[in-house]
């Protein structure tokens, strides 16, 4: 008869189903979960699909901050006006995530849940200083994204908890939202390295504030306080960016695999930063 | 499990295992052979279908998810004997070689033209980025989509 698939229509219905099927495979778009199950040949005792839970679909303007539900697909993120206005960095990353059908299917919550070092929404969310809102049958809590993502495939989610969404300060006034990833081809590629950036330039042309976050170059997203300190007050030019190169090399721990060598990935970490001036 | 959904404009009522991949429901149970299970991992686009008008990969959907949805496969693209303008353009521009990727390519193009009726060549390439073709080198496929939206513009016909 096959394994049962539940499509709860609300959070309370989810807690009910989850209570009686605690070992079910939970998925939203399934672009990570169904692929992983297929690759490992495993069949879970049941499936719970989150696609019909309206509570995960909220987008809310909260004044100083914006809240975006975990259930938004990448395609929805690309057309949501509040996100375009207040977090223009996020759609830049999502635009190069997967392919159109993957973007119609995969979700923000799924990207967070998978916690891949190559997850393309993660560096932007680190730059935005997002809080991850988590709910369970017994209540709601929120965590800094740096405390939510613990390592490759590893998050602070407890059994029975769901990601409700992410909340972060509006950042529409940061002059430069930037995202670039490098992979073995242009589309549908897992990044070898990526860089998300938010930069505020003071009227005199110097860096007033800067947030940089690298993906795929360590077990989680890499940020550097030292780089931040060193860049402040400097002009945004090649000399400044070159002077930061050693600092990023100390922070990253890229892997070596058939797709690229450590040496190449280290070079990318640096060169991605140099692109911040060629683009603007 | 009992599911009801619309398939190529026809009301369907089926009993299937809830976890059966949608690609097998469509191809094996319903005989819609335009839907190809190739990589089974979302990488190739051979199993592309339209779900409520949007391109999705039927290898990454379980049968239970069909409930209440409007599904279209290539077989449902043109209702009469006449080919859809995209199909015509694929034929005219030699965009079909072995034909294996063609249904997915045409549906991906449909999805793109719904979102962006007049894409440039770069946008066409990005719109088809999830669909792999091992014969044509893609040029003729891009030509076909390009031509289909130009013809469309001239004839004032909308997708
Ligand atoms: C061909 C292909 C290309 C891809 N390309 C990219 C790419 O370029 N960049 C990239 O970053 N990713 C890529 N991915 C991976 C994937 O598409 C993304 O990570 C996507 O965002 C996952 O979302 P989903 O809803 O499909 O996740 P699912 O597979 O449904 O879930 C993933 C994990 O998150 C958990 N989860 C989902 N929603 C919630 C929630 N609300 N609360 C708690 N846990 C939850 C699930 O339990 C599971 O552990 C690709 C995948 C494929 C198949």
**Residue recorded with tokens 């914006």:** A66
Residues 6+ apart with CB under 8 A from A28: A49, A50, A51, A56, A70, A71, A107, A109, A110
Q: How far is B129 from chain A (nearest CA, A)?
A: 6
- Rounded to whole angstroms, the Cα distance separating A118 from A229 reads 26
Please state the rounded mean pLDDT for residues A251-257: 93
Q: Which fold has domain A176-279?
A: Enolase-like; domain 1 (3.30.390)
- Rounded to whole angstroms, the Cα distance separating A226 from B149 reads 52
Q: What is the mean pLDDT of chain A?
A: 95
- Give residues 2 to 31 of A whose Cβ lies within 8 Å of B: 2-7, 29-31
- Contact present, B48 and B107 (Cβ < 8 Å): yes
Ligand 1 site, CB within 6 A: A 26-33, 35, 50, 56, 70, 97-98, 102, 105-107, 109-111, 113-114, 118-120, 157, 162-163, 188; B 42-43
Flag whether residue A184 sits within 8 Å of chain B, measured between CB atoms.
no
From-to residues of CATH 3.30.465.10 in chain A: 55-169
C-alpha distances (whole Å) from B93 to each of B3, B126, B133, B159 are 40, 20, 15, 20
- Contact present, A70 and A165 (Cβ < 8 Å): yes
DSSP B54-91: EEEEGGG-BGGGGTT-EEE-GGGS-SSSSPPHHHHHHH
So what's the pLDDT on residue A186?
Answer: 75
Look at residue A8 and tell me whether its pLDDT is greater than 90.
Answer: yes
Which of B23, B63, B25 is closest to B45 using CA atoms? B23
Instruction: Count CB atoms within 10 A of the CB of residue B159.
Output: 15
Q: A104 and B60 in contact by Cβ < 8 A?
A: no
Most distant pair of Cα atoms in chain A: their distance: 69
Backbone angles phi, psi at B24, to 5 degrees: -80, -35
Please state the rounded mean pLDDT for residues A254-263: 92
Give the Å distance between the CA of A38 and the centre of ligand 1. 15
Look at residue A261 and tell me whether its pLDDT is greater than 80.
Answer: yes
- Rounded to whole angstroms, the Cα distance separating A148 from A201 reads 30
Which of A236, A212, A208 is closest to A225 using CA atoms? A212
Q: How far is A152 from chain B (nearest CA, A)?
A: 20
> Chain B residues contacting A, CB < 8 Å?
1, 17-20, 40-43, 45, 48, 51, 54-57, 60-65, 67, 108, 111-112, 126-127, 129-131
- Percent of chain A clearing pLDDT 70 (strictly above): 99
The closest CB to that of B60, out of A6, A75, A105, belongs to A105
So what's the pLDDT on residue B157?
Answer: 44
Strands (E) in chain A, as ranges, are: 4-6, 25-27, 46-49, 59-61, 65-69, 131-136, 139-144, 149-151, 154-155, 162-169, 176-182, 193-201, 207-215
Residue A158: both structure tokens together:
């407890």
Q: A5 and B40 in contact by Cβ < 8 A?
A: no
Interface test with B, best of A32, A99, A188 (most B CBs within 10 A): A99
- Rounded to whole angstroms, the Cα distance separating A173 from A88 reads 10
Q: What is the pLDDT of residues A106-132, one digit of tens each?
A: 999 999 999 999 999 999 999 999 999
Give A182's strand partners.
A193
From-to residues of CATH 3.30.43.10 in chain A: 4-49
Flag whether residue A101 sits within 8 Å of chain B, measured between CB atoms.
yes
How does residue A187 score in pLDDT terms, banded at 50, 70 and 90? confident
Residue pLDDT tens, chain B, 159 long = 999 999 999 999 999 999 999 999 999 999 999 999 999 999 999 999 999 999 999 999 999 999 999 999 999 998 788 999 999 999 999 999 999 999 999 999 999 999 999 999 999 999 999 999 999 899 999 999 999 988 654 444 444
So what's the pLDDT on residue B65?
Answer: 98
How does residue A188 score in pLDDT terms, banded at 50, 70 and 90? confident
The closest CB to that of B17, out of A2, A49, A51, belongs to A2
- Rounded to whole angstroms, the Cα distance separating A3 from A24 reads 10
> Please, what CATH class does the domain formed by A4-49 belong to?
alpha beta
So what's the pLDDT on residue A189?
Answer: 80
- Rounded to whole angstroms, the Cα distance separating A14 from A146 reads 27
Q: What is the complex's ipTM, to 2 decimals?
A: 0.94
- Contact present, A168 and A67 (Cβ < 8 Å): no
Residue B139: both structure tokens together:
């040029």
Flag whether residue A183 sits within 8 Å of chain B, measured between CB atoms.
no
> Please, what CATH class does the domain formed by A55-169 belong to?
alpha beta
Give the Å distance between the CA of A241 and the centre of ligand 1. 33
Q: B19 and A51 in contact by Cβ < 8 A?
A: no
How does residue A216 score in pLDDT terms, banded at 50, 70 and 90? very high
From-to residues of CATH 3.30.390.50 in chain A: 176-279
How does residue A184 score in pLDDT terms, banded at 50, 70 and 90? confident
- Rounded to whole angstroms, the Cα distance separating A110 from A216 reads 17
Q: How far is A8 from chain B (nearest CA, A)?
A: 11
So what's the pLDDT on residue A115?
Answer: 98
Choice between A239 and A185, residue whose per-residue pLDDT is larger: A239
Residues 6+ apart with CB under 8 A from A263: none
Residue B88: both structure tokens together:
């015509």
Give this prediction's pTM: 0.96
- Rounded to whole angstroms, the Cα distance separating B32 from A22 reads 36
- For residue A234, the 8-state DSSP code is S
Q: Which pairing describes strands A131-136 and A139-144: parallel, antiparallel, or unpaired?
A: antiparallel
The domains found in chain B, sorted by start residue, are: 2-76 (3.10.20.30), 85-155 (1.10.150.120)
C-alpha distances (whole Å) from B149 to each of A229, B74, B113, B152 are 52, 18, 8, 5
Give A214's strand partners.
A195, A222
- Rounded to whole angstroms, the Cα distance separating A275 from A71 reads 32
B130 to chain A: closest CA residue = A99
Look at residue A67 and tell me whether its pLDDT is greater than 90.
Answer: yes
């Amino acid at each position: 008869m096959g394994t049962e698939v539940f499509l709860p229509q609300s959070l309370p219905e989810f807690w009910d189903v989850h209570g009686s099927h605690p070992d079910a495979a939970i998925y939203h778009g399934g672009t990570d979960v169904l692929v992983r199950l297929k690759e490992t040949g495993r069949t879970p005792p049941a499936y719970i699909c989150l696609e019909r839970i309206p509570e995960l679909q909220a987008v809310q303007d909260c004044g100083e901050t914006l809240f975006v539900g975990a259930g938004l697909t990448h395609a929805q993120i690309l057309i949501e006006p509040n996100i375009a206005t207040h977090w223009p960095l996020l759609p830049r990353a999502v635009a190069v995530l997967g392919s159109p059908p993957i973007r119609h299917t995969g979700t923000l919550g799924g990207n967070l849940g998978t916690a891949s070092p190559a997850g393309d929404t993660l560096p932007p969310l680190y730059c935005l200083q997002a809080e991850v809102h988590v709910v369970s049958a017994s209540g709601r809590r929120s965590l800094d994204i740096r405390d939510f993502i613990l390592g490759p495939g590893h998050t602070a989610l407890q059994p029975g908890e769901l990601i409700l969404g992410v909340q972060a300060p509006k950042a529409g006034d940061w002059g430069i939202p930037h995202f670039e990833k490098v992979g073995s081809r242009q589309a549908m590629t897992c990044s070898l390295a990526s860089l998300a950036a938010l930069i505020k330039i003071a009227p005199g042309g110097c860096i007033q504030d800067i947030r940089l976050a690298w993906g795929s170059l360590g077990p989680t997203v890499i940020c550097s306080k030292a780089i931040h300190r060193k860049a402040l007050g400097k002009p945004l030019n090649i000399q400044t960016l070159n002077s930061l190169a050693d600092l990023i090399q100390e922070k990253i721990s890229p892997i070596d695999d058939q797709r690229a060598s450590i040496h190449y990935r280290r070079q990318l970490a640096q060169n991605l930063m140099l692109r911040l001036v060629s683009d603007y | 499990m009992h599911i009801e959904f619309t398939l190529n404009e026809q009301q369907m009522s089926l009993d299937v295992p809830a976890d059966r991949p949608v690609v097998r429901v469509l191809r094996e149970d319903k005989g819609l052979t335009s839907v190809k299970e190739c990589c089974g991992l979302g990488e190739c686009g051979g199993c592309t279908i339209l779900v409520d008008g949007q391109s999705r990969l039927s290898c990454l959907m379980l049968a239970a998810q069909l409930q209440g949805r409007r599904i279209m496969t290539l077989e449902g693209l043109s209702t009469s004997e006449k080919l859809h303008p995209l199909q015509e353009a694929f034929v005219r521009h030699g965009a079909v070689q072995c034909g294996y990727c063609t249904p997915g390519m045409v549906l991906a193009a449909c999805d793109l033209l719904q979102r962006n009726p007049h894409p440039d060549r770069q946008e066409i390439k990005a719109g088809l980025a999830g669909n792999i073709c091992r014969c044509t080198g893609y040029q003729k496929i891009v030509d076909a989509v390009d031509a289909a939206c130009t013809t469309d513009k001239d004839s004032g016909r909308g997708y």
